């Protein structure tokens, strides 16, 4: 192996190439439908390299969830920062999802898809997924707290409850779109989300 090849295939670059490939395959074709051999082949790696960085498929699965968590929460945080007005944020969230679908960047919620495949196969998966849901809910809760403080909504709002409802409405719309491929479930998600806030709108 040449020095240039060694440099290209060293350390972090190999790990990232493997994780990039695994993330794409796990997301598009499913965790349970993707074998380590396919990941090795499509990442242009060798078995020793893969198992050096990810000793088991379980560890690769956890790294995949962490990667998806980072992207999902980062996208959401960017929208929240850009749109402090909740009604504008809801519209932007729906537009983002529809654009990602049309550009073949979004194939459904990666966490729900993963959970459906592994079920209760490993408590570590369950705890990791639970942690993601908690972070997601907290992000929405913090955003709504700022909206209440700015006078957008009544201070009587049960922010924790409303945050859970927002997440439920989002996942319901995404799941129905995934089942039917009907984009109306994405477009009408905005209506479902807006209805949650109607009784709390500050007069």
- Return the percentage of the chain with pLDDT > 90, whole number: 84
120 and 176: one domain?
yes
pTM of the model: 0.87
Residue 157 resides in a domain: yes
Residue 6 resides in a domain: no
Alpha carbon 113 to chain centroid distance? 10
34 and 76: one domain?
no
Q: What is the residue-averaged pLDDT of the chain?
A: 91
Domain of residue 110, residue span: 64-199
- pLDDT (average), residues 120-126: 84
CATH number at residue 31: 1.10.10.60
Residue 114 resides in a domain: yes
51 and 68: one domain?
no
Measured distance CA(149)–CA(152) in Å, rounded: 8
117 and 171: one domain?
yes
Which tens digit of pLDDT belongs to each residue from 7-64?
445 556 899 999 999 999 999 999 999 999 999 999 999 999 999 999 999 999 999 9
Measured distance CA(54)–CA(187) in Å, rounded: 39
Residue 85 resides in a domain: yes
42 and 70: one domain?
no
């Amino acid at each position: 192996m040449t020095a240039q090849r060694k440099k290209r295939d060293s350390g972090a670059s190999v790990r990232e190439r493997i994780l990039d490939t695994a993330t794409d395959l796990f997301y598009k074709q499913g965790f349970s439908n993707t074998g380590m051999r396919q990941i090795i082949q499509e990442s242009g790696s060798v078995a020793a390299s893969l198992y050096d960085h990810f000793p088991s498929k379980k560890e690769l699965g956890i790294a995949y969830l962490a990667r998806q968590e980072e992207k999902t929460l980062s996208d959401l945080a960017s929208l929240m920062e850009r749109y402090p007005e909740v009604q504008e944020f809801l519209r932007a969230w729906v537009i983002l999802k529809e654009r990602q679908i049309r550009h073949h960047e979004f194939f459904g919620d990666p966490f729900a898809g993963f959970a459906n495949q592994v079920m209760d196969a490993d408590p570590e998966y369950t705890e990791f997924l639970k942690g993601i849901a908690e972070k997601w809910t907290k992000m929405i809760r913090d955003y709504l707290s700022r909206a209440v403080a700015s006078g957008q909504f009544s201070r009587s709002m049960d922010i924790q409850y409303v945050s859970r409802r927002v997440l439920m409405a989002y996942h319901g719309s995404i799941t129905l779109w995934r089942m039917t491929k009907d984009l109306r479930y994405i477009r009408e998600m905005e209506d479902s989300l807006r209805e949650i806030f109607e009784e709390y709108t500050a007069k």
